[in-house]
Chains A and B, each alone.
Chain A
């Protein structure tokens, strides 16, 4: 049975989209069929990482959810755009999701399992092994919805005082939603930090599993979203850490 995994962070710019794309590419390289949904309406970024031009996007996820099109029409096979050949598949369901519509429906007392059915439908139609949901930062209603239906939640934070309070709220809310698995990822950690120490202290502070501590990477910054890191720089330490993270989700 497929897993739905949401990737979230309290603040923006922590590396959600990059983590999502790298996980997708890695899982596909392991032979999985992977779906990726970009729910970040304000600042959609995933299509850039997969080199999908907005002009190529005709139908999006909401069109499918409301029966306006079939799943094949909203999902874009970006496997050939990963930068290297993989055994599996990556389908991108781009971001014009209009979650506002969905939440309004939920609030008005309609069948709240509609999105879940939609997501499950997506999983079935495309025969997905994993569905990754890249969320909008902060805890608005549509994000809560994504978290609620997830089998696992990855919360990304930076080793920065500004992230600590919000992350603790997120973790607590996710627990309250009874998400089966919550993983913390520390990203953009300066190379000079003692990474093991960071992992220990973060795990202790949130009483939560820390999946990985990712370094701040000049190469990733230089890549500037023009591609998926592990495909471009498979030999660099950060790529190995992304793969390790992926292995924990297999």
Chain B
């Protein structure tokens, strides 16, 4: 005869208490503290089971009975979880004193769990034989072998554990950390969504029954958000009814883990989810690249080339400069930028724009950066624009980081306007012959889709380089025209007298020419009177 669940719970409770006493006496405080948690879970279970007949009488609907089973399973699973964890941890530490007792407690608790699973389904018969749990392959030792990831340098992924029960969270967190994962925890769906959006998360372990926002709703929210949809979700639940599992899988859950977890199964499923996610992340990165390439081609065809045509037709220098800077900023969502023109060995700042700073009534003279600076002046530390004037393209993800470049212009601008210059790109503007005629400097790129601040990426730089060469050509041709205009102002028609005399006499001192002149004279002698008449 097997005892009923209430009696079994009393027995388990007693065994835990005895072991706790042993651990305390032996001074193993860490083991004792875990056993203390097991004890309180077992105590809770004992109390619940004592009241079970009364609760069963009051609860006749399916949902109610599901809830009843769920509430009973929670402390049982905690006992089991700690049992396994303490066994693994102590064995890892070479301490085998507790293994036998823990194994006995675990075995009894599993038998108890099977009885609880029948609660409210049929009549609970004390004579029900427990189904023996197949021993983990290799026994405790196999389980205690750490996950391969734990031995490598860093955690192999971040797992978000969502469970309303603090002890459950703690248990899972400890187990997962042992397996080498980083862990975030949330008490309910709302918290989980916040974490999923703000932290790096690779897999979500999601409990179903939770207050505030339950597992189903959380799953729905996760899968309804384009930026979170790719996150694998493993449902955790004591509710192992097939329809609740299929309900979750239908809504996009990756997998399902019944409580209590088999540690091996837990690792296996998390590992599989992570592998799938890695493949999907790679696919996504690849897809993003294709999209970026296509955007680049489109930008070139529909954006840059027509702008180049428009720029070369622009007759007003002020408007030309304005357009160059505006169009360049548009292609990368840059919040601000500066246009420099090269004048001999100087770079002259001719235009400054910044959307989030009101520059309307600031005197350009005190814009932080000097109006012009000598290209060969600052030795050692050079301004990004000076580097660009030497033909290099300069990209900085954050100007505030360490850099061999002179960032004092950005710092001065930031101080003056309470601004923060993060990403920076400086590009040479080249004429057709390759000569650098100016420099385009852009600040704080943003992503087109959501306005998020981003570093200047390869696709942006490629498009901007094309635009720069067109802008450079337009500026160079404008400059040629201006030079021409200046020359005409003190127009010098240089004619080499000696050459002219030589060229003229080469023509006029020929027989042919003399004949021609005689003929012309003859003709005019006969026609002139009437021509002028």
Contacts and interface: CB of A to CB of B under 8 A. Distances in A.
Interface of A: 1, 3, 106-107, 112-113, 116, 139, 141, 144-145, 148-149, 151, 159, 161, 164-165, 168-169, 172-173, 176-178, 180, 190, 192-194, 197-198, 201-202, 205-206
A177 B517 contact: yes
B493 interface: yes
Contact of B504 (A161, A173, A193, A202): A173
Nearest to B491: A201
Contact of A205 (B493, B512, B531): B493
A1 B530 CA distance: 6
A219 to B, nearest CB: 13
A201 B513 contact: no
B225 interface: no
Interface of B: 481, 484-485, 488-489, 491, 493-496, 499-500, 503-504, 507-508, 512-513, 515-524, 527-528, 530-531, 533
A164 B494 contact: yes
A178 B521 contact: yes
Contacts of A177: 516-517, 520
Contacts of A107: 512
Contacts of A112: 515-516, 518-519
Contacts of A3: 531
24 contacts: A1-B527, A106-B512, A106-B515, A106-B516, A116-B519, A139-B507, A144-B507, A144-B512, A144-B516, A159-B484, A164-B494, A165-B495, A172-B500, A176-B504, A176-B513, A176-B517, A178-B520, A192-B481, A193-B488, A194-B488, A198-B488, A201-B491, A201-B493, A205-B493
Given A106-B515, A176-B504, A202-B493, 7 more contacts: A1-B531, A112-B515, A116-B519, A141-B512, A178-B521, A190-B481, A194-B489
A141 B500 CA distance: 18
A129 to B, nearest CB: 12
A206 B491 CA distance: 13
Contacts of A165: 495-496, 499-500
Contacts of B519: 112-113, 116, 148
Contacts of B516: 106, 112, 144-145, 148, 177
Contacts of B499: 165
A159 to B, nearest CB: 6
Given A1-B533, A141-B512, A178-B520, A169 B493 contact: no
Contacts of A116: 519, 523
Interface class of chain A by DSSP: helix
A201 B494 CA distance: 11
A206 B493 CA distance: 9
Nearest to A151: B531
Q: Which 3 A-B pairs have the closest CB atoms?
A: A205-B493, A112-B519, A148-B520
B528 to A, nearest CB: 8
Given A139-B507, A164-B495, A205-B493, A190 B517 contact: no
B488 A159 contact: yes
A164 B494 CA distance: 7
A148 B508 CA distance: 12
Contacts of B507: 139, 144, 169, 173
A190 B480 CA distance: 12
Contacts of A144: 507, 512-513, 516
A1 B533 CA distance: 8
A82 B480 CA distance: 37
A195 B409 CA distance: 44
Nearest to A169: B503
Contacts of B522: 113
A177 B515 CA distance: 10
Contacts of A194: 488-489
A112 B511 CA distance: 13
